[in-house]
Amino acid sequence: MQILHFYKTYLPDSMGGVEQVIFQLCESGAPYDIDNRVLSLSTDPSPEVMHMGTHQIHRAKLDIQIASTGFSVSVFKKFREMAAEADVINYHFPWPFMDVVHFLSGIVKPSVVTYHSDIIRQKNLLKLYRPLMTRFLASADRIVAASPNYLHTSDVLQKFQDKTRVITYGLNKAGYPQPDAERMNRWRQRVGDKFFLFVGVMRYYKGLHILLDALQNLDYPVVIVGAGPLENELHAQAAALGLRNVHFLGRLGDEDKVALLQLSYAIVFPSHLRSEAFGISLLEGAMYGKPMISSEIGTGTSYINIHNETGLVVPPSNPHAFREAMRTLWDNPVLAAEMGRKAEARYRQLFTAEEMGRKWNELYQELLEEKSLSYA
């Protein structure tokens, strides 16, 4: 069975959460003999075809980008050629240009839309895009949401409940590197072994300004891994607040990230807007048995982190509530350790790549059987 995944960006050009989800989805299909291929755009598509793990990556030239939407002329031909060979097309939403490619290509194949997020920020452009979006989603055979929370709180998905399924994202812990003792000791000497950890891109919806406000007049050590468009602004905020125990480490490799995950005391995840549809780095914390603090935004973050079970969930955009949650975990190590154990148990029950692969294989098979009956 050959699956074509179509999204605006992918590894190695971009390293975001959606890209990581697509990677895990592709790799988790290997035990089922699924031939996963990814088509994306790149500013430098050389080579045009690459291999990563068990799947292929095909890249078309990115011509222009407007409002986070990439456009490409050459991708039309590539998409038609690859779609003609595929058994199922898996579109990764949102990407308005993808809808245009879908309709203009005229490909009639079983299709599923992996619905990563509502469109939150470009509200004015959404008014123009909505008719096309609605038609595109209506044309798909299935839509997949990553959590029941998101399905229940998305106005868009509520209109397509009859064909929407929930398949949570999954991670393969065995695929993560194991840092050596030297690396662990080096980080332990630099940041200690009791600190709060944030991992993620410094984007507007991540709520790092809320975390920094929560730390005012506190001396809890916080390690921030990641870079992004708000980096300078956040450094300036930390300096203005006089925060002396916040470590901005920038973007790190996987071995260093895993070392810090293992050393950390708890995960802080202050995302305050629905643009944070799931929270892969939050799930990584659960995978490594860490208690978590997150905000209630009606998305997958509160499916990963269950209040008073795997961690604490606080109101969004509330530095005082976030501060008190940090204080609760810091002052109660037995409670924090128990929440961490429950977080890891929940990961093993619901969020493994193996479980994700099994459910996606079932969905693909269901679509193919359904289409074969309709053609009979």
Q: Please calculate the CA angle 13-255-194 and round it to the nearest 5 degrees.
A: 125
How far apart, in whole angstroms, are the C-alpha atoms of residue 199 and residue 16?
A: 11
* Contact indicator for 278, 301 with CB cutoff of 8 Å: yes
Residue 346's alpha-carbon distances to 151, 172, 310, in angstroms, are 20, 14, 8
What integer pLDDT is reported at residue 48 of this predicted model?
A: 96
What integer pLDDT is reported at residue 289 of this predicted model?
A: 98
* Contact indicator for 48, 75 with CB cutoff of 8 Å: no
Residue 227's alpha-carbon distances to 59, 116, 201, 208, in angstroms, are 25, 22, 5, 12
What is the per-residue pLDDT across 33-43, written as a single tens digit (0 to 9) for each?
A: 999 999 999 99
Instruction: Judge if 2-172+353-375 and 173-350 fold alike in CATH terms.
Output: yes
Instruction: Please name which of 197, 248, 253 lies closest in space to residue 227, comparing C-alpha atoms.
Output: 248
What integer pLDDT is reported at residue 374 of this predicted model?
A: 64
What integer pLDDT is reported at residue 373 of this predicted model?
A: 72
| Residue 175: partners with Cβ closer than 8 Å, 6 or more residues away | 27, 353
Instruction: Classify domain 173-350 at the CATH class level.
Output: alpha beta
pTM confidence score: 0.91
* Contact indicator for 19, 9 with CB cutoff of 8 Å: yes
How far apart, in whole angstroms, are the C-alpha atoms of residue 51 and residue 36?
A: 11
What integer pLDDT is reported at residue 109 of this predicted model?
A: 94
Instruction: Classify domain 2-172+353-375 at the CATH class level.
Output: alpha beta
How far apart, in whole angstroms, are the C-alpha atoms of residue 251 and residue 202?
A: 10
In this prediction, the residues of the chain whose per-residue pLDDT falls under 50 are 376
* Contact indicator for 67, 34 with CB cutoff of 8 Å: no
Query: For the chain, which residues make up each domain, given as ranges?
Result: 2-172+353-375, 173-350
